[in-house]
Amino acid sequence: MGGVPPPAGTLLIACIGRCEDGFQSAPYGLKEDGSFDQLEVNPDDERLVGNSISFYLVNDFGSIRALETRPYIGVFDFYRQDLTFVDPMPLPAPKPTITPTVPTAQPTPTAKLPISGDPVVAGLPMLVVISGLVLGSLGGGLMFLARRQFS
């Protein structure tokens, strides 16, 4: 990782084939300087002999693959393997930032009362009385017609 040890808590795993459905080693906690020793790659499946071993750095957010691979020869032995990782370690998805909105002060509405002496104010009661008389007469006429049809 550019000559810089991976962050604390990073694990190393080895896989033969795909990690999901092939062999995956137990995770190994790296030393503070990023080095490791005794990463055990010992699958039970003999059909994996001759396949490549891939190495991955793993954290809670994903994994990155080393450039180097090593053939699995099926014999338990100790090997020295330097690994190079060029991709950055996966990071958590950024949390969306929420900008609080400050409510703007709305002016308090003031009641608009009629101005004394306004001629519209004087005409309103007369309009209501006339409307009432018209609607009452109309209702009475409709009742008279309805009663006349049923008799």
Q: What is the pLDDT of residues 104-144, one digit of tens each?
A: 777 877 777 767 777 766 677 777 888 889 999 998 888 88
Predicted local distance difference test score (pLDDT) of residue 2: 61
Secondary structure E strands in 42-87: 52-59, 62-71
Q: What is the pLDDT of residues 1-58, one digit of tens each?
A: 566 778 777 899 999 988 888 899 999 988 888 888 888 898 988 889 999 999 999 9
State the Cα–Cα distance between residues 7 and 94, nearest whole angstrom.
18
